[in-house]
Amino acid sequence: MKIDVKRAAQLSKLNISDNKAKSFEKQMNDIAQMISVLSQINNDISDTDERRAELRADQPHEQSLSQQQIMQNAPAFSNGVFCVPKTVD
């Protein structure tokens, strides 16, 4: 498996500087080498998840956040809304 560092960075919204990119590429491909043994696994092996979830009742909770709680950590929040640079669809 060869890791396309550029594409991976793009999908992960990361920018790897040019000087880091080379060492990253080597490191990641060493890792890729380590994990390549997985391709030997037989596809017939089951991967079904036997657990079953317990669902919750449709009842309201008391955990709503107050505006103050939101503002405590929000980088840009005013007039009740979060603010980001204009997002073109």
Partner 1 sequence: MSDYETVIGLETHAELNTKTKIFCGCKNEFGSEANSNVCPVCLGLPGALPVLNEKVVEYAVKMGLALNCTINSVSALARKNYFYPDLPKAYQISQSYLPLCVNGYVEFLYNGSISRVRINRIHIEEDAGKLVHSENGEDKTYIDFNRCGVPLIEIVSEPDIHSSGEAVAYLKTLKSILRYLDICDCKMQEGSIRCDVNVSHNRKGGPLGTRCEMKNVNSFSAVGRAIEFEIKRQKQLLADGSSIVQQTRRWDDIMGRSFVMRTKENADDYRYFQEPDIPPFEVSKQKIEELSALIPQLPNIKIIRYVTELGISVKDAEFIADNIELSAFFDECVVSARHRPKSYCDWIMGELVKYLNSHSISFGQTRLTVGGLNDMLDAIANGIISNSAAKKVFEVLLEDQKSVDEIINELGLAQLNDISQLEVIAEQVLSSNEKSVQDYKSGKTNALGYLVGQCMKVSNGKADPVRMKEILLSYLML
Partner 2 sequence: MQLYEMTLHQLSEMLADKLISSKELTQSVLERIQSLDSKLNAFITVDSNGALKQAESVDNKRLKGDSLCVIAGIPIGLKDNICLKNMRTTCGSKMLENYISPYNATVAQKLLAADAVIVGKLNMDEFAMGSSTENSYFGVTRNPYDITKVAGGSSGGCAAAVSCGEVIAALGSDTGGSVRQPASFCGVVGLKPTYGSVSRYGLVAFASSLDQIGPVCKCVKDTAIMYSAIVGGDKLDMTSQNKEYPNFEVGQKDLKGLRIGLPVDMYENITEPDVLERFENAIRLLEKNGARIRRISIAETGYALPAYYVISSAEASSNLARFDGVRYGFRAQNIQSIDELFVKTRSQGFGDECKRRIMLGTSVLSEGYYDEYYSKAVKAAKMMTHNVKQLFESVDIIATPTCAETAFDIGKKVDDPVKMYNSDIFTVLANLTGVPAISVPCGCAGNGLPVGIQLMADSFCEQTLFDAAYWLESLVNAPERGCEDV
- 67 binding partner 2? (CB under 8 A): no
**Minimum Å distance from CB 78 to partner 2?**
14
**Nearer of residues 19 and 55 to partner 1, judged by Cβ:** 55
CA pair distance 43, 36, nearest whole angstrom: 15
- Residue 83's identity, in one-letter code, is C
Burial 32-63 (b: 16+ CB within 10 A, else e): eeeeeeeeeeeeeeeeeeeeeeeeeeeeeeee
Q: In the window 44-63, what residues touch partner 2 (CB under 8 A)?
A: 45-48, 51, 53-54, 56, 63
H/E stretch holding 78: strand 77-78
Beta bridge partners of 77: 82
64 binds, among partner 2, partner 1, none (CB under 5 to 8 A by kind): partner 1
With CB cut-offs between 5 and 8 Å by kind, which of partner 2, partner 1, none does residue 18 bind?
Answer: none
Identify whether the C-beta of residue 32 lies closer than 8 Å to the C-beta of residue 2.
Answer: yes
Binding region for partner 2 (CB under 8 A): 1, 3-5, 7-9, 11-16, 20, 24, 27-28, 30-32, 34-39, 41-43, 45-48, 51, 53-54, 56, 63, 65, 69-70, 72-76, 82, 84-88
